[in-house]
Amino acid sequence: MEECIFCKIIRGEIPGKFVYRDTQVVAFHDISPKAPVHVLVVPVKHIESVREITPEDQELMGLLMLKVKDIAKKLGIALSGYKVVVNNGESAGQLVFHLHLHLLGGWKKSPGWEV
């Protein structure tokens, strides 16, 4: 069983503020938001980073992006705009080695935030 923090959140062993979950993809609010809306979209399958994806993951990778689209709509940032960021490897700032897409948006509604 994976000991990584995101696997523990997915298994419910540590709390997460979920905005979406199904058997393949989950999304929860980042604990330290860098934007007014900052959600992490995460495959249930433990894959460390883009470096470790395989052709077997092709469908799952497509599904992740479709979920980003749906979750952005659900959170009300689809039309105002958002960023999708994936950090890969330590020098790129990856801290949690379970692949995740940062979905960042909502700046227009929060004047104090800079893009």
| Smaller CB separation from Zn ion, 52 or 59 | 52
In order of 3, 17, 42, 58, 85, the CA distances from 65 in angstroms are: 26, 20, 10, 11, 11
Q: Which phi-psi region, left, alpha or beta, contains residue 107 (left: φ > 0; alpha: ψ -120 to 50)? A: alpha
* SS3 readout for 63-96: HHHHHHHHHHHHCCCCCCCEEEECCCCHHHCCCC
Q: Which does 66 bind (CB under 5 to 8 A by kind): Zn ion, ligand AMP, none?
A: none
Q: Which distant-in-sequence residues (6+ apart) come within 8 Å of 83 by Cβ?
A: 35, 102, 103, 104, 105
| Smaller CB separation from ligand AMP, 79 or 95 | 95
Catalytic status, residue 46: no
| Smaller CB separation from ligand AMP, 10 or 77 | 10
Site for Zn ion in 82-101 (CB under 5 A): 98
Specify the DSSP class assigned to residue 59. Answer: H
**Site of interaction with ligand AMP (CB under 6 A):** 5, 16, 30-32, 87, 93-96
Shortest reach from residue 33's CB to ligand AMP, in Å? 8
Site for Zn ion in 10-49 (CB under 5 A): 46
Q: Which does 7 bind (CB under 5 to 8 A by kind): Zn ion, ligand AMP, none?
A: Zn ion
Residues engaged in binding Zn ion (CB under 5 A): 2, 4, 6-7, 46, 98
Catalytic residues: 100
